Amino acid sequence: MEFEASDPDWAYETNRRRFYQTYSLLEKVDFLSHYVTGPTKRYKGLVKFLPHKVTLNKITPKYTFGFVGDIMKMCSRELILGPALRHFFQGIDYLVGNFEGIITHRKHEVIAEQVHGQRILATLKTILPPEQIVLSYANNHSNDFGWNAYKKSHHILQKHGFQVMGRRDVPNILLEDKINIATASSWSNQPCEFIASFKQLNEAFYPSAAFNFLYPHWGYELYLYPHPSQIKVAQKLLEQWDAIIGHHSHTPQPVTAVDTSKGKKLVAYSLGNFSYGVAWKIYHKYGIVLKLEIGPNKDGVWQVGNLSWYFSLLYPPKDGKVRCELNRKCQWFDEI
Distance CA 22, CA 187 (A): 8
Distance CA 324, CA 329 (A): 14
What pLDDT, on a 0 to 100 scale, did the predictor assign at position 22? 67
What pLDDT, on a 0 to 100 scale, did the predictor assign at position 3? 44
What pLDDT, on a 0 to 100 scale, did the predictor assign at position 280? 87
Average pLDDT over the chain reads: 94
What pLDDT, on a 0 to 100 scale, did the predictor assign at position 175? 98
What pLDDT, on a 0 to 100 scale, did the predictor assign at position 146? 95
The answer as to CATH 3.30.9 being correct for domain 46-122+133-327 is no
Identity of the amino acid at 152: K
Q: Which of 85, 1, 56 is nearest to 292 (CA)?
A: 56
Burial of 79 (0-12, 13-18, 19+ CB in 10 A): buried
On whether the CB atoms of residues 293 and 61 are closer than 8 A, the answer is yes
Q: Is 41 in a helix, a strand, or coil?
A: coil
Cβ contacts of 232 within 8 Å, gap of 6 or more: none
**DSSP for 127-148?**
TS-GGGEEEE--STTTTSSHHH
Q: Is 302 in a helix, a strand, or coil?
A: strand
Burial of 4 (0-12, 13-18, 19+ CB in 10 A): exposed
Distance CA 115, CA 72 (A): 9
Which pLDDT tens digits describe the chain residue by residue (336 residues)?
444 557 899 998 888 887 766 666 677 678 778 888 899 999 999 999 999 999 999 999 999 999 999 999 999 999 999 999 999 999 999 999 999 999 999 999 998 899 999 999 999 999 999 999 999 999 999 999 999 999 999 999 999 999 999 999 999 999 999 999 999 999 888 889 999 999 999 999 999 999 999 999 999 999 999 999 999 999 999 999 999 999 999 999 999 999 999 999 999 999 999 999 998 888 999 999 999 999 999 999 999 999 999 999 999 999 999 999 999 999 999 888
